[in-house]
Amino acid sequence: MEISAVTLSRPRFCWRLRTRRVELGERTRLMAIVNLAAETGMPAAANAKFALGAAVEAVDSGADIVELGSAATRTGTQTVNAEQECARLLPVLEGLLQARPQALVAVDTWHAATAREAARAGAEILKDVSGMTWDMEMAETVARSGCGVVLMYARGRVRESLAQGAMSRDEVVSQVFAGLCESVAIAEAAGMEDERMVVDPGFGFGKRGAENFCLLAQLGRLHQLRLPLLVGLSRKGFLGDVVKPVQPAGLPRAEARRMATLAGNVTAVLSGAHILRVHDVQAAREAVAVADAVLEAAN
């Protein structure tokens, strides 16, 4: 009996940023999440100090990229304007680059004004959850900045996500693919080269429960875009829902979703994800060390 091999592969790219280039594909890159949103419940000054400490720790712990986000994107949270975003974000961005000049910093925003100021302050990467579709000045702003860009597909604005209709297995990937194609076209029309782009399918954004698992199972199909893939699964609700029946009651949310996050991340890497967006850097480093070893052995 002939045994057919399972094909595991990840294409390689060179991602061009504002002042440097990053090789993608040889190993999984980790983007550490640092949350500056007011929803943390701390006073602004204390939140900024805590966030700066967390950002420095992420760099020292081995994160390849530190993502600073100053606006919550969960359903039901209040939106903030660019002025509020900048007030929260810029002091931490500047403090991090002063403390760790070599740090590679991404800023998560869909506001063109925030993106402009972040690039001026030293951000190398701009990540837009709307894929350049919520602020019509965003594409031109990013193009002029020279920054690398992460284009995400959100399937509706934050407050609309629960109102989105259900999707079949095949519709999930088709809609994500079409949405990312639209964002890439917008970016190209503004003058951005493909080597500056990374795409993110937007797990949990306008996609319900099992729809996210359909997307994860077919993640490899997105390689048809011929662009690097970023995946953000860390502590997502759909992961928590699937493990809840087999867990003891009363676990804190972060702990309850920790192992599910690691399992999801390994699955994503084996499907060809180049970058993982994570909360727990050390745990992610260990998980992707195994997944990367499997990919290396398969090629």
The residues carrying an active-site annotation are: 236, 277
Pairing of strands 125-128, 105-108: parallel
State the Cα–Cα distance between residues 233 and 263, nearest whole angstrom: 10
As to burial, measured by CB atoms within 10 angstroms (0-12 exposed, 13-18 middle, 19+ buried), residue 20 is exposed
Which amino acid does the sequence have at 58?
A
Q: What is the DSSP string of 146-173?
A: T-EEEEE--SS-GGGGGGSPP--HHHHH
* Tokens representing residue 282 in the block: 């050390």
- How many helices and strands (H and E) does the chain possess? 10, 10
